[in-house]
Amino acid sequence: MSIMVREKSFYKRLGILALPIVLQNAISFAVNFADNVMVAQLGDLAVSGVGAGNQVQNFLQMAVMGLGTVIVILGSQYWASQDIGSIKTIVSIALKASVAIGIIFLCLGLFLPGSILGLITDKPDIVDAGVQYLRIVALSYVFFCMTQTLSAGLRCVESVNIGMYLSILALVVNVGLNWVLIFGKLGFPALGVVGAAIATTIARVVEFLFLVGYIILRDRKLCFGLKDIFRHDKNLFKDFIRYGVPVLMGDVLWGLNMFVQSAILGRMVAEAFAASNVVTPIFSFFSIVVYGTANASGIIIGKTVGEGDFVRLKQYTKTLQVIFLMIGIVSGLMLFVCRAPVLTLYTGMTPGQGISEEARRYAMQFLAVLSVTLVGTAYQMSVLTGIVRAGGSTHFVLINDLIWVWIVVIPSALIASYVFNAPPWVVFLCLKSDQILKCIVAVIKVNRFNWYKQLTRPAEAK
């Protein structure tokens, strides 16, 4: 069997699915990147405060992404048989769960912002700046959860273009309002961190309203209406719990992992914490093709499993592994080469603006580490979530992450920081080491081909 699939239709389909997701991610991360650059003009304190506040958002995002992944895993297999009713029920279950999660995080952001941010950093001035940001941006959480869940429902029926349009809308609204409210343009007062929070909140509400309008007026595949919110099916709910809980737990625990990583860096020198918040959106932007291809692969793999074509599934799996590795090498090289020019954007146009020189030096070191680990991320993350998990082996990815994160990554970083008093870049390397180490597990697991299973129920069984 040839490693590379010879069907042109496979590559065309992968490109058609991946390109809108890549463009959506590019625009979405461009919003975060622009936010980051604009806030960084206010100095290390502002970028650290907003970064700390965004750790709560990141935790929420991982939980909601977990629900979205469950929708795609189950829904894409039902899409193979055009069972729209079951897909709607799955979306309904996830939507109600996402709203509940959004309300919990809204309450935490409104009533306990200082206590939460105090877990991330022991520096009171950073906590104060973060509280200003978090109390306002928390108002957007429920809207964000609903948008992400409904978008996942559309994605599993291969309606991927809407995500790109939503990201363009968010880019225009958020960046425009940032310019006005952070720096005080067009007669508005300069609100700094508070202005960034207001801009983000308004952009997310507009994004949600635009998506609802699209579903009502233009969507012809999912056709999710108000009455569908109340859908319920006992057997599908059991499937959602059985296959979805491991996925959701995996993403929630990954969000907790990122929260703990931020807390470790937040207790190092202030400039290192500022640098860690600077490099995050930069890394995200350079990994857009990685995540876009992984998401598209998950749709293809899920649908192929649903069709029961296991010969073709094996061919696709081998080809995708090569594609993932090639994308990782190219993306890592680009990040390494571009890190210095990109960081010049964080230098203020006038003296006293922008991040400090020490923070910039740490950021250069962190990006060098990430340019290497990005190669591992492109392979193992795409294999484990885009193939293995999408193929139905949801428990394996959860267990694998638990072992690497909580037995290797976090302990090694704590030992490096508190026992050996290692420099920040060494601690940062420990925090990202699993991205390379998990490649060993990924290559063995995926090529054993014991991970795929059909998750759909026959119509008469539901």
How confident is the model over 114-153, as pLDDT tens digits?
A: 999 998 888 889 899 889 999 999 999 999 999 989 988 8
Nearest residue to 277 via CA among 360, 202, 162: 360
Nearest residue to 79 via CA among 159, 151, 4: 159
Nearest residue to 329 via CA among 277, 291, 376, 398: 376
In a domain, 316, yes or no: yes
Of residues 308 and 14, more confidence is placed in: 14
In a domain, 310, yes or no: yes
pLDDT, position 458: 58
pLDDT, position 410: 94
Model confidence at 227, in pLDDT bands (50, 70, 90)? confident
Residue-wise pLDDT tens digits, 53-111: 888 888 888 888 888 888 887 887 788 778 888 889 999 999 999 999 999 999 999 99
DSSP 462: -
List, as one string, the DSSP characters of 403-430.
HIIIIIIHHHHHIIIIIS---HHHHHHH
In a domain, 377, yes or no: yes
In a domain, 35, yes or no: yes
- For 96, the domain range is 8-461
In a domain, 304, yes or no: yes
Percent of the chain, pLDDT > 90? Answer: 37
Give the integer Cα–Cα distance in Å for 51 and 58.
10
C-beta of residue 46 within 8 angstroms of C-beta of residue 129: yes
pLDDT, position 373: 96
In a domain, 245, yes or no: yes
In a domain, 3, yes or no: no
Tell me how crowded residue 217 is: count the other CB atoms within 10 A of its CB: 7
In a domain, 356, yes or no: yes
Of residues 58 and 211, more confidence is placed in: 211
Model confidence at 353, in pLDDT bands (50, 70, 90)? low
> What pTM, to 2 d.p., does this model score?
0.79
Q: Report how many domains make up the chain.
A: 1
Model confidence at 254, in pLDDT bands (50, 70, 90)? confident
Of residues 112 and 163, more confidence is placed in: 112
Per the listing, tokens 């609903």 go with 146
C-beta of residue 372 within 8 angstroms of C-beta of residue 431: no
Mean pLDDT of the region 386-407: 85
